[in-house]
Amino acid sequence: MKVALFIPCFVDQFYPHVGMSIVGVLERLGHTVDYPEAQTCCGQPAFNSGFWDEARSVAERQMRVFRDSEMVVIASGSCGAMVKVFYPELFRGHPQEVEAKALATKTFEFSDFLVNRLGVLDVGARFPGRATFHDGCHALRELGLKKEPRQLLRHVQGLELVEMKEAETCCGFGGTFAVKFPMISTAMGEVKCASIADTGADYVISNDCSCLMQIRGVLDRQGKSVKTLHLAEVLAQT
Nearer to other proteins, 138 or 150 (CB): 138
Nearer to other proteins, 11 or 114 (CB): 11
Helix (H, G, I), strand (E, B) or coil at 76: coil
| Number of residues in the chain | 238
Q: What's the CA gap between 107 and 61, in Å, rounded?
A: 16
Question: Minimum CB separation from other proteins for residue 223, in Å?
Answer: 11
If one asks whether residue 168 binds other proteins (CB under 8 A), the answer comes out as yes
Nearer to other proteins, 1 or 213 (CB): 213
- Which one among 3, 25, 26, 41 touches other proteins, defined by CB under 8 A? 41
Nearer to other proteins, 159 or 230 (CB): 230
Element (H, E) at 102: helix 97-106
Give how far the C-alpha of residue 74 lies from the chain's centroid of Cα atoms, to the nearest Å: 7
If one asks whether residue 61 binds other proteins (CB under 8 A), the answer comes out as yes
Per-residue x/- marks for other proteins, 110-149, CB under 8 A?
---------------------------x--xxxxx-----
Instruction: Name which of 76, 226, 222, 116 is nearest 164 in CA terms.
Output: 226
CB-based burial, 188-209: b 16+ in 10 Å, e otherwise: bbebbbebbbebebebbbbbbb
If one asks whether residue 14 binds other proteins (CB under 8 A), the answer comes out as yes
If one asks whether residue 213 binds other proteins (CB under 8 A), the answer comes out as yes
Q: What's the CA gap between 19 and 89, in Å, rounded?
A: 27
- Which one among 50, 93, 95, 119 touches other proteins, defined by CB under 8 A? 50
Number of residues engaging other proteins in binding (CB under 8 A): 68
Helix (H, G, I), strand (E, B) or coil at 6: strand
Question: Minimum CB separation from other proteins for residue 21, in Å?
Answer: 11
Instruction: Name which of 65, 139, 55, 60 is nearest 98 in CA terms.
Output: 60
- Which one among 106, 169, 224, 227 touches other proteins, defined by CB under 8 A? 169
Residue 176: C-alpha distances to residues 10, 96, 185, 193, 207 (Å): 13, 26, 10, 20, 19
Query: For residue 133, which phi and psi values (nearest 5 degrees)?
Result: -115, 130
- Residues of the shown chain interacting with other proteins in the complex, contacts defined by CB under 8 A: 7, 9, 11-17, 19-20, 23, 35, 37-38, 40-41, 43, 45-52, 54, 57-58, 61, 84-85, 88-89, 137, 140-144, 168-170, 172-175, 177-189, 191, 213-214, 216-218, 220-221
